[in-house]
């Protein structure tokens, strides 16, 4: 009989504990507000007006006192409408919940097929707009940091290309740049671009307003990520811009070739960067959530530096003493390409 009574008491205690847990959870969440997605626009003379952009605010934004970092996210080859909601929000919120990424404000300009450049024909100046008026507008409207240390630029596919173009041309404006599966021709001069793969007059209709008619090869080169590295390596290197480039080795758009070319140029230029090609990953599909989280983790380290690592510093001092260490310099690894085509 006593065992039966003890059993009932234990059950009541368990039920009571469960109710307390539910009540505590409710009280904890009562003051929380979820992330908020806003659709904003602004007047401008630089691009088709009003220029539209989406804003994702972190949970409890209104109660956060300290200015937050800004993530400027460039969409891919779509027109960019509702890009945060369709492609990014779930992954950002997951990174927030998992502690991978601290609260920040995400800004996604809706640019259409802009190519993220100042067009040669003068009708649209997207680079000038994004790096100037847009960032200034965001800093004026939202509780965000107003310095380089709190500003990251990132994007995927065409947005990855735009990220590299804008960041390499304006490295003093961003603490970090993250280019996922960046899509651009893996060449160094316009004459090597294979236009035959574009049907009909597609290539000319795309190129002429953006790069001139006929194409101004010099204008193109100053806005082509690999060539920017070649021409402005010192500026990028001295800026200490933190760079991450990644792609999947089964990307049908061959962005792994673009990423590899940028990596090799940055390495030979002595420019520090993080580079990753994921085995078996494609342009879309199941690899993207984890790749996004890896990129968010890189951003977090750039925005919130971990500081000196005592163990690593001890190892460095030892390497210096015994002569193993050499500082990073351009063309540090000299080699001749091996021809594997005749294997």
Q: pLDDT (tens digit, 9 = 90+) per residue, 77-126?
A: 888 999 999 999 999 999 999 999 999 999 999 999 999 999 999 999 99
The Cα 282–Cα 55 span in angstroms is: 28
For residue 247, give its domain range: 31-321
Helix ranges (DSSP H) in 170-281: 202-211, 217-221, 225-231, 233-239, 255-268
Long-range residue pairs from 136-144, CB within 8 A, at least 24 positions apart, any chain: 137/42, 138/55, 138/70, 138/105, 138/107, 139/70, 141/40, 142/55, 142/57, 142/68, 142/105, 143/61, 143/64, 143/67, 143/68, 143/105, 144/67, 144/68, 144/69, 144/70, 144/105
**Residue 298 belongs to a domain with what CATH number?**
3.40.50.1820
The per-residue pLDDT for 120 is: 96
The verdict on residue 70 lying in a domain is: yes
The verdict on residue 23 lying in a domain is: no
What pLDDT, in 10s, does the model give residues 205-248? 999 999 999 999 999 999 999 999 999 999 999 999 999 999 99
The verdict on residue 72 lying in a domain is: yes
Question: How many separate domains does the chain show?
Answer: 1
- In angstroms, how far is the first alpha carbon of the chain from the final one? 85
The verdict on residue 24 lying in a domain is: no
- For the chain, list residues with pLDDT below 70: 1-31
Q: What number of CA atoms fall less than 13 Å from residue 24's CA on the CB side?
A: 6
What is the layout of strands, in order, in the sheet containing 51-57? 36-42, 51-57, 105-110, 70-74, 151-156, 176-180, 242-248, 274-278
Helix ranges (DSSP H) in 43-188: 83, 89-97, 126-128, 135-141, 158-169
The verdict on residue 330 lying in a domain is: no
The verdict on residue 4 lying in a domain is: no
Stated as kind and residue range, the H or E segment containing 6 is helix 2-30
The Cα 44–Cα 133 span in angstroms is: 8
The verdict on residue 9 lying in a domain is: no
Please state whether the peptide bond connecting residue 67 to the residue before it is cis, i.e. omega within 30 degrees of 0: no
- Among 58, 63, 69, smallest CA distance to 36 is for 58
pTM score: 0.89
Pairing of strands 70-74, 151-156: parallel
Token pair belonging to 297: 């983790």
The per-residue pLDDT for 200 is: 84
The per-residue pLDDT for 8 is: 53
Q: Say which residues have a Cβ less than 8 Å from residue 139's Cβ, sequence separation at least 6.
A: 70, 145, 146
How many degrees, rounded to 5, is the angle at CA 328 between CA 183 and CA 306? 75
The per-residue pLDDT for 9 is: 52
The verdict on residue 165 lying in a domain is: yes
């Amino acid at each position: 009989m006593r065992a039966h009574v003890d059993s009932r008491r234990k059950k009541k205690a368990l039920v009571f504990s469960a109710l307390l847990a539910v009540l505590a959870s409710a009280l904890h969440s009562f003051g929380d507000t979820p992330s908020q997605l806003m659709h904003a626009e602004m007047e401008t003379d630089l691009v088709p007006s009003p220029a539209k952009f989406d804003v994702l605010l972190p949970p409890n934004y209104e109660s956060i006192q300290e200015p937050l970092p800004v993530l400027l996210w460039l969409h891919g080859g779509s027109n960019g409408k509702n890009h945060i909601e369709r492609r990014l929000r779930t992954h950002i919120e997951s990174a927030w919940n998992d502690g991978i990424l601290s609260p920040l404000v995400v800004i996604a300009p809706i640019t259409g097929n802009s190519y993220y450049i100042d067009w040669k024909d003068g009708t649209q100046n997207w680079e000038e707009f994004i790096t100037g008026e847009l960032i200034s507008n965001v800093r004026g409207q939202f509780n965000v940091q107003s310095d380089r240390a709190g500003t990251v630029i990132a994007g995927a596919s065409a947005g990855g290309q735009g990220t590299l173009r804008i960041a390499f041309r304006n490295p003093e404006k961003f603490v970090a740049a993250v280019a996922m599966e960046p899509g651009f021709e893996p060449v160094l001069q316009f004459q090597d671009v294979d236009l035959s793969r574009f049907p009909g007059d597609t290539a000319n209709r795309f190129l002429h307003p953006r790069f001139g008619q006929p194409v101004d090869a010099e204008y193109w080169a100053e806005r082509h990520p690999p060539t920017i590295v070649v021409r402005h390596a010192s500026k990028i290197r001295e800026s200490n811009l933190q760079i991450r480039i990644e792609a999947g080795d089964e990307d049908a758009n061959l962005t792994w070739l673009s990423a590899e070319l940028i990596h090799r140029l940055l390495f030979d230029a002595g420019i520090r960067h993080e580079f990753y090609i994921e085995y078996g990953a494609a342009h879309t599909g199941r690899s993207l959530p984890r790749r996004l989280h890896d990129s968010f983790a890189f951003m977090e380290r750039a925005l919130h530096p971990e500081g000196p690592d005592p163990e690593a510093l001890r190892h460095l001092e030892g390497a210096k003493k015994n002569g193993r260490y050499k500082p990073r310099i351009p063309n540090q690894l000299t080699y001749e390409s091996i021809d594997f085509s005749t294997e």
